[in-house]
Amino acid sequence: MGFKLGSPGEGEDGGSHRTPNQKTPTRTAQSRQATSTRSTQVRDRGLDSPGIGGAVHTPSGGLKCLYTNAHSMENKQEELAFLLANTNPYIVELTETWWDPTHDWVVNIKGYWLYRQDRKGRKGGDVALYVKEQYTSSANSIRPEVGQTEVLWVRIQGGQEERDLTVGVYYRPPNQGEELDQEFSGQLANAVIMGDLNYLDICWEEQSARSDCSHRFLAELQNLHLTQEVHSPTRGNALLDLVLATGDDLLSRLQVRDHLGDSDHRLLEFTIQRRVSKACSKAADLDFRRADFNEVRRLVREALTSRRGRDLGVQDEWSFLKEMILQAQRVTIATQIKGSKSAQKPPWLTKSTQECLKAKKEAYTQWKGGAITKEDYTSIA
């Protein structure tokens, strides 16, 4: 192809220039310590960073959302990736992920930003929220720092003449005290919030409750004009997982669906009827599908051959090799602007695996319709 690689230091800027193509996006966790939680906002600010002032984008039919209490994501990450690839939701919220720093390398899903808040020094709990990366989103810094309340707020930039959309995910342990309940209630205005709130004694049809803490919670919802949108049991015969929103027309098409893996909580699927802003990204990727790797090898080999005989240290040799590989990529591999594609199916998702997951879904539908027993469903699932 007639290209020639220059050594580091050649050229006007001493070889220190970097094009966007040279930076490989990573999703390292950047921790923000709270009093008793570890908050992790997993956002790449390199190639994947959305532009500012995105164009208005109204998804067809609104913003599809999924929520569930995962009861540990330890063996459910692959099924979650499959679920997202097939249902294409815009927002996904999870409680009781049971994540800690050892899970940082496995929790990201292609096509989504991940926000999470992990417990510090205690097992269990945790909340997480995925947002499609094509939308401009950020951890909501307007919300006050909380103590031990397991709640996470994310703001999504609104469309023209629309306020920003704030969504939250909340896990309330069954034995949580009044002080933390009040702390959470003080953050509820102007948001869509979902989570496992563990109010077992509330009768939502009659808007009544037996315990004092449940009475206070119902009164707070009435004061803030919030409606509770879930009306079917989400764990056994109990309605523990709630979706709260301002106004009767903000949410639509709420369904109680199958379980995620072996979680004993059911999935909730619903739509938020809001216009949001789509990020204008100029992020570029190397298009390795059209790469000429033989030419890359030839160029690197020639550069290394011309360098023989020079007595350099290990670090200098490595720096030289790395720079030659990057230069070879620049001159032989084309770039493409990153699109906002849906989450891709994971490589382990074979045809037989898809058939098994489909059989599980069909069995769940049959069980709910009374065609098979719970034991039959459990044996299939």
283, part of any domain:
no
Residues 238 and 375 in one domain: no
Residues 369 and 236 in one domain: no
Question: What's the pLDDT band for 95 if we cut at 50, 70, 90?
Answer: very high
- Domain termination site, one of 231, 255, 278: 278
Alpha-carbon span 171 to 186, nearest angstrom: 15
Alpha-carbon span 36 to 141, nearest angstrom: 18
Q: Which residue has the higher pLDDT, 105 or 72?
A: 72
**Interval 277-310: pLDDT, tens:** 776 555 667 777 778 888 888 888 888 888 776 7
The 3-state DSSP composition of the chain as helix, strand, coil percent (nearest 5) reads 25, 25, 50
How far is residue 301 CA from its own chain's centroid? 42
Q: What is the mean pLDDT of residues 310-317?
A: 79
Residues 216 and 364 in one domain: no
Question: What's the pLDDT band for 47 if we cut at 50, 70, 90?
Answer: very low
Alpha-carbon span 367 to 82, nearest angstrom: 22
Structure tokens at 357: 């997951």
> 53-62, 99-108, 162-171: which has the minimum mean pLDDT?
53-62
Tell me, what's the pLDDT at 264? 92
Residues 222 and 369 in one domain: no
Q: What is the mean pLDDT of residues 250-273?
A: 92
Q: How many domains does the chain have?
A: 2
For residue 369, CA distances in Å to 21, 144, 237, 273, 374 come to 53, 45, 16, 30, 11
Tokens 């002032």 map to which residue?
A: 53
Residues 112 and 219 in one domain: yes
Alpha-carbon span 196 to 96, nearest angstrom: 9
- Decide if pLDDT at 325 tops 80: yes
DSSP string, 128-177: EEEEETTB-EEE-TTSPP-SS-EEEEEEE-B-TT-PPEEEEEEE--TT--
Would you tell me how many other CB atoms lie within 10 Å of the CB of residue 218? 17
Structure tokens at 165: 């959309």
Question: What's the pLDDT band for 49 if we cut at 50, 70, 90?
Answer: very low
For residue 227, CA distances in Å to 21, 95, 199, 218, 275 come to 48, 21, 15, 10, 21
Tell me, what's the pLDDT at 48? 35
312, part of any domain:
no
Residues 127 and 267 in one domain: yes
Closest to 325 (Cα-Cα) out of 85, 65, 22: 22
Question: What's the pLDDT band for 36 if we cut at 50, 70, 90?
Answer: very low
217, part of any domain:
yes
Structure tokens at 268: 């909730």
Tell me, what's the pLDDT at 282? 55
- Decide if pLDDT at 9 tops 60: no
Q: Is the dihedral of CA 156, 89, 51, 20 positive or negative?
A: positive
292, part of any domain:
no
> 18-22, 81-85, 277-281, 315-319: which has the minimum mean pLDDT?
18-22
* % of the chain exceeding 90 in pLDDT: 33
Q: What is the mean pLDDT of residues 93-100?
A: 94
Question: What's the pLDDT band for 5 if we cut at 50, 70, 90?
Answer: low
Q: What is the mean pLDDT of residues 261-279?
A: 88
Residues 39 and 147 in one domain: yes
Tell me, what's the pLDDT at 57? 53
Tokens 């810094």 map to which residue?
A: 141
Average pLDDT, the chain: 78
The order of strands in the sheet holding 165-171 is 137-139, 150-156, 165-171, 192-196, 241-246, 226-228
Tell me, what's the pLDDT at 322? 87
311, part of any domain:
no
Residues 358 and 213 in one domain: no
- Decide if pLDDT at 260 tops 80: yes
108, part of any domain:
yes
Domain limits for position 254: 34-278
- Domain termination site, one of 278, 294, 316: 278
**Structural contact between residues 51 and 282, judged by C-beta atoms closer than 8 angstroms:** yes
- Decide if pLDDT at 112 tops 50: yes
- Domain termination site, one of 261, 278, 295: 278
Question: What's the pLDDT band for 86 if we cut at 50, 70, 90?
Answer: confident
163, part of any domain:
yes
* % of the chain exceeding 70 in pLDDT: 76
Residues 132 and 214 in one domain: yes
**Interval 334-359: pLDDT, tens:** 876 665 454 556 666 677 877 887 78
310, part of any domain:
no
**Structural contact between residues 164 and 156, judged by C-beta atoms closer than 8 angstroms:** yes
Alpha-carbon span 254 to 94, nearest angstrom: 17
Burial (CB < 10 A; 0-12, 13-18, 19+), residue 368, is middle
Tell me, what's the pLDDT at 17? 35
**Interval 145-186: pLDDT, tens:** 445 789 999 999 887 777 889 999 999 999 898 888 888 888
**Structural contact between residues 262 and 69, judged by C-beta atoms closer than 8 angstroms:** no
Residues 56 and 141 in one domain: yes
Residues 240 and 376 in one domain: no
Residues 271 and 361 in one domain: no
Q: What is the mean pLDDT of residues 116-123?
A: 83
CATH of the domain at 230: 3.60.10.10
Tell me, what's the pLDDT at 33? 32
